[in-house]
Every structure is written in C-alpha cells, then in structure tokens.
Structure 1
C-alpha cells in the first residue's frame, strides 16, 4: 500500500517456528523389576515418580521436566539408541549414581564420566546420556529430555528425513553427521547411522502430539501404516518408510496424541533431589524444569 514503511525485524523468526509435532511427552520402556526401576530412575537419576497417576506396582511414570519415562512391568525393553537427559547438577548426579550401586549390583547398571556428559546404563541395558544445562545446545531446559537418539542403518537418513518432513510435517536438519527431527520446543528425535547390526525391535515406544492430528493420520492410513487406533485422541504407527518407494527404514512405535487429548501439556511435579530429610530447606523442594529468566 502507498505510504507503508517496511519494518525491519531484528529477530530470527524462523528459529522460533515449530513443525506439526508439538510435544515429546514420554519414552515407554518395560522393566522386569519395579523396585530396581525405582532405584535407577528415582534414586540414581534423581527423577520424580508422578504422584497423581499410575501409582500402583505394575507401572511407574517418572517425571523429567515436561516429559516422562513410562515404565510398565514386563520383559525388559531396550531402546536402540540413547535417551538424552539434562539435569542441573553434575556433582549431585554423580553422588546419586555412586550411592545407587548398593541396590543395583549384579545388573547391567554402569556409569562413566566424559567431557560434557555422563553416560549411564540402566539395569537392563538402556543407554542414557546426561548433560548439564546448555542454552545453545538444548534451549532453556534445566531438567528434561532434549533428544531421543536412534541407531539407524547406513544409507537410511535421507529417506527418514523425507518421512518426517512429508508425512509428519516435522522440520529436519543434518548436524554433526546425524539427522535431527524437531518434535517439540528444544526437543528432537535424532537418527545416527551405525555399522553395528541392530537388534530386533522389541516394542518400546515414544509419544508425540501433533497439531495436524487428522492430516497425518490420513497420510499414514493411505499407506497402511496405522498400527493401532486407541481412542478419539490417539493412534499409533511403527514403520518409518521412505515416501518415494515405501521401503521400511526404521521401526519404533509412535504413540500420537492430539492437542485436545486430556493429558496434553499436563503440568508435572518435579522434586529437587538435593533436598532430603537430613538436608532440608523449606520452600526448596520443587525443581523448576526451565532456566531462570535471561
């Protein structure tokens, strides 16, 4: 229009854009022994058992910032890759990991320090990489799951990228030799190629929420990829295929929820594991999962 002045934007607006996936809510892994799972996820990692939902002895939800581990009792499942965590204190984490040895001896439990992270193995072989908060790498996460990394067969990354971009509507990028799929604010699925043979897929799953819940369902259904219809608010798929030729490139169950799902963005309780009955300060029991204002 005549007389209009173009306003210069000093911000990178693209950096704040999410794709169709808006939540990475949980990683679901069966565990054979809920007592050992408590020792590992709650005591060793310092996470918080959800106090409101699934409080029986056959399942446990462990809160990690805005995300969770879901840990139903059953034959062990092992994610084919690494789950990344951010926790605010490396020193406290190492203290907890050392203390947990008394409960977890005789299992596959192990941990090793590395530059910039601590590698931890759960009693059944799941690999977890724990980082300190880092705004440049993980956004403003103080406690959370910034990524789930999967081991992929060589040559599959371009097709996996096409799947998430064309069918799911999630932005992807290649970075440091791996494919990164943006699935929520500061949260990614990462696919990294490996020459090591992959074990058979054992049924573990992740949960995402889609803004275009129905649109993605239609694309998946057209290709025969829907594996389960759970409810009005939820469906599942397992196969990641190349849209160009339909080849199955990777398998992991995706539990997909709508933004109208009753559990979408449910606030989660996160305790401060530094506060105990012997080291206590009133008002400091809660751990805030995001960094303070810049």
Structure 2
C-alpha cells in the first residue's frame, strides 16, 4: 500500500507567530463603540480594559486597542475577515445617523466592504475566502502605504532581522513587501506615490518564537526604542540594512511566547443574537472554519 504524500512545508510558520493587535488612540469611546462593536459586530473584551478610558475589541484571535487620546490613523488600511456581507452592511447602516458628523463612510466594492472609522482609519472587510486560510473571523493583514522604492529593502529587513518569510511582490499593481507574520496573517508594505502623512504614534503588536535573536540584531543597530519588560521590547524604524536609512516608521510592540498574555482566549460574540430573537447556545461564534482534511 502506497503511503499518502503530504506537503509538510504548508504547515511551516514564520518566526513572527502572531499579529495580536493594532493600537490607535480615539477621542470618544462612545463613537468607537458604535463603529467597532455595534457597526462591525465585534466584541469588547469583557475582562481587560473595562473602564471608560480604553477599550480592547476582539476580532477572532486579534484585537484593536483603543485608548482615549488624540485620534491616530494608520497609514494604510487593516484587512479583516467578517462573515455575512449583507448583515454587516445592515449593522453599519444602523449606526450611520449617530456617526454622520464624523469621517465615517462605507464603500461597497466587488471583493470587500471598505469601512472608515469616525477618525479616518480604513478597514477593508472580506468574507471568508481560501486566500485567508481557515479564518472565519479575524485580522488577516495590515497594508501600510510606504515610500516608493522601499519594498525590496523592507522585505530584506524582516527576513534578516526577524527570520520571517518575506518577499518583494505586487499589490494592486504597485511594488509591495509581503511579510508572513502568523498563521494566515500578513504585513503588506505597498509603495505609494507622493508624500505620506507624518507618523502619529500608533503601533502594532506581534509575538515571536525566537525572541532574543531579533532583539540582538535590532540592538546592534541601535533600533530598540523601549526595554519594556522581561517579555517585551519595542522598536520604531524599519531601515535599509546596508545604509541605515529609515525606510518606514511604525512602532512594533514585540512580545515573547512566554508573555503572560500570549494565546489568551478571546471572547467573540454572535452579533445576530438579540434579546427579542435569542437562541440558547448560540451566544458566541468561532473564529475558524472547519478543517477540510
């Protein structure tokens, strides 16, 4: 009997094992709740940041962190997977009047819905699709707008510093660095024409398997910006490894897999449940599609 052959390389993962959160400050927690929770149908974390000055919002295995402050806007967009396009549009339409004095906008496209938060952060929302793996609900990618001519060097930065699979490719006809940052997750650095907005301090957070190797390589280049704790450090600048030139600035909060918060289970509610149309046992929903084999 011939043994079945498997492509074992399909199960290889990046040294960057998970993209856990995007942090942008917001000036109004009520409007943030209307957009992220009521409109998108996501879930406020019930255990942490439960006061009125910060909110953590669960989307599958990842989160948005939304502390109160001057509005910050990611230079690019966040790619989410949320099922049921029709119901998503209905939810967003229900919050339209309350957000009409803000930058809130909904743009229907063939392959996604683009939703703009009250302060200008752009989200591209896709239904589950094989290109996003088995994700039924989650943060599939972050797409950053970066200066022209930087994609190849950004790819090398992540390969050499983080030992992460990265390649120079194209996105929407533009040169792009694509970095594998976890199971079914990517960072995209898409070259843009013209000047970019100034960096305003927002950040992303990732977990590493090899925590000390990238730290050592960043520190040798003077790039570690914060020694946070035993389990965490931060850096700001992605640089050309030959010249030291700063290619793009986005703060990375870098954590080890021994961090106390690693793989903390996140609650994801079923937004179709209401007090008037309730079915016991359907309060939560899975972030993952069934395995096909």
Q: Secondary structure at the match of 1:218?
A: helix
- TM-score of the aligned structures, taking structure 2 as reference length: 0.96
CA drift at 1:102: 2.1
Q: Does 1:286 align with 2:284?
A: yes
Q: What is the 5 A alignment of 1:238-249?
A: 238-249=236-247
CA contact 2:35–2:118 (8 Å) conserved in 1: yes
The alignment partner of 2:93 has SS state of helix
Identify the residue that residue 153 of structure 1 maps to in structure 2.
147
Shift of 1:176: 3.6
Of 211, 232, 239 in structure 1, the residue corresponding to residue 209 of structure 2 is 211
Give 1:287 shift: 1.0
Q: Which of 103, 108, 132 in structure 1 is aligned with 2:103?
A: 108
Measured in 2, the distance between the counterparts of 1:158 and 1:14 equals 24
Matched ranges for 1:109-128 at <5 A: 109-128=104-123
TM-score (norm 1): 0.95
8 Å CA contact 2:151–2:168 kept in 1: the answer is no
Q: Tell me if 1:17 matches 2:15.
A: no
Structure 1 residue 108: deviation in Å?
Answer: 0.2
Distance 2:97 2:193 in 1: 36
Once the two structures are superposed, residues 148-176 of structure 1 have per-residue CA deviations (whole angstroms, 9 ceiling, x without a partner) of 00001110011101100000111013444
CA offsets 1:167-219 (integer angstroms, 9 cap, x no match): 01110134444221000000010011110321000000000011111111110
Matching residue of 1:3: none
Give how far 1:54 is off: 0.8
Note the aligned Cα RMSD (angstroms). Answer: 1.2
Structure 1, 176-185 or 62-71: larger mean CA deviation:
176-185
Structure 2 distance, partners of 1:252, 1:168, is 15
Deviations 1:38-67 (A, max 9, x none): 001000111000000110111000000000
Q: Distance in 1 between matches of 2:162 and 2:69?
A: 31
The alignment covers a number of residue pairs equal to 287
Mapping of 1:127-276 within 5 angstroms? 127-135=122-130, 137-177=131-171, 178-276=176-274
Q: In structure 2, the residue corresponding to 1:256 is in which secondary structure?
A: strand
- Alpha-carbon distance in 2 for matches of 1:236, 1:183: 16
The separation in 2 between residues aligned to 1:186 and 1:217, in whole angstroms, is 24
Q: Is the 8 A contact 2:134 2:291 kept in 1?
A: no
What is the distance in 1 between the residues matched to 2:169 and 2:45?
34
* Deviation digits for residues 72-119 of structure 1 (CA, Å, limit 9, x no counterpart): 000000000010000111011000010011211100000011001001
